[in-house]
Amino acid sequence: MFSKRSIRQSFLIQLIFASASLIFIFSSLLYFYIQRSIIEEKHQELLNYAKNVASNESIYGSEIPTPEIYLGLSIEIAHLNKAHLDIDLYETTKNAKSYLTLIYPFNLDELSYLKITKEITSTKLLLDKILNYLFIINIAGFLLVVIYAIGLSKMLVTPVKTLSNKLSNMNEHLMRPIVVEELPEEFEPLGTTINHLIARIQNFVKYQKELFIGTAHELKTPLAVIKLKNQVTLIKKRSAEEYIDALKVTNKTVDEMNIIVSNILNIGRQEGAQLEKPQEVDVIDVLHQKADDFKLLAENEGKTLYMSFEPNGYMAFLQVSLLNQIIQNFLQNALKFTPKDKSVSLISSLNSYGLLIEVIDEGCGIDESSDLFAPFKREGNKPGVGLGLFLAKSAADALGAKISIKNRTDGVVGTVASINLNSKLSCILPINKK
CA torsion, ordered 109, 110, 113, 114, to nearest 10 deg: -110
95-125 residue pLDDT tens: 888 888 888 777 766 777 778 888 888 888 8
The residue range of the domain holding 30 is: 7-144
- The one-letter amino acid code at 326 reads I
Q: CA of 369: how far to CAs of 372, 373, 375, 391, in Å?
A: 9, 12, 16, 20
Task: Assess whether 74 and 136 both reside in one domain.
Answer: yes
Whole-angstrom Cα distance, residue 60 to residue 301? Answer: 130
- Distance from CA of residue 347 to its chain's centroid? 33
pLDDT at residue 214 in the model: 64
The pTM of this model reads 0.48
| Residue 167 DSSP SS3 | helix
Domain presence at residue 176: no
Task: Assess whether 254 and 287 both reside in one domain.
Answer: no
Confidence of residue 360 (pLDDT cuts 50, 70, 90): very high
Task: Assess whether 251 and 293 both reside in one domain.
Answer: no
Domain presence at residue 186: no
| Residue 267 DSSP SS3 | helix
Task: Assess whether 127 and 233 both reside in one domain.
Answer: no
389 close to 329: Cβ distance less than 8 angstroms? yes
* CATH number of the domain to which 377 belongs: 3.30.565.10
385 close to 375: Cβ distance less than 8 angstroms? no
Task: Assess whether 227 and 309 both reside in one domain.
Answer: no
Rg of the chain in Å (alpha carbons): 46
pLDDT above 50 for 38: yes
Whole-angstrom Cα distance, residue 219 to residue 214? Answer: 8
* CATH number of the domain to which 249 belongs: 1.10.287.130
More confident residue, 127 or 172: 127
The number of C-alpha atoms within 13 Å of 210 and in the hemisphere containing its C-beta is 16
Q: Which among 246, 273, 300 is the end of a domain?
A: 273
Whole-angstrom Cα distance, residue 134 to residue 141? Answer: 10
Choose the weakest-confidence range: 56-60, 78-82, 174-178, 359-363: 56-60
Residue 422: strand pairing partners: 354
Task: Assess whether 340 and 417 both reside in one domain.
Answer: yes
392 close to 365: Cβ distance less than 8 angstroms? no
320 close to 281: Cβ distance less than 8 angstroms? yes
| Residue 411 DSSP SS3 | coil
Q: Which among 273, 298, 318 is the end of a domain?
A: 273
Choose the weakest-confidence range: 95-109, 136-150, 177-191, 206-220: 206-220
Helices (H) and strands (E) in the chain, counts: 8, 12
Q: CA of 245: how far to CAs of 77, 222, 234, 238, in Å?
A: 140, 16, 14, 11
308-354 residue pLDDT tens: 998 888 888 888 888 888 888 889 888 888 988 899 999 999 888 88
Whole-angstrom Cα distance, residue 204 to residue 358? Answer: 25
What is the pLDDT averaged over residues 138-150? 85
Task: Assess whether 211 and 254 both reside in one domain.
Answer: yes
Task: Assess whether 15 and 116 both reside in one domain.
Answer: yes
Show the beta-strand stretches assigned E in 147-285.
Answer: 279-282
Q: Considering only CA atoms, which of 173, 172, 175, 195 is closest in space to residue 183?
A: 195
Task: Assess whether 123 and 139 both reside in one domain.
Answer: yes
pLDDT above 50 for 259: yes
Confidence of residue 143 (pLDDT cuts 50, 70, 90): confident
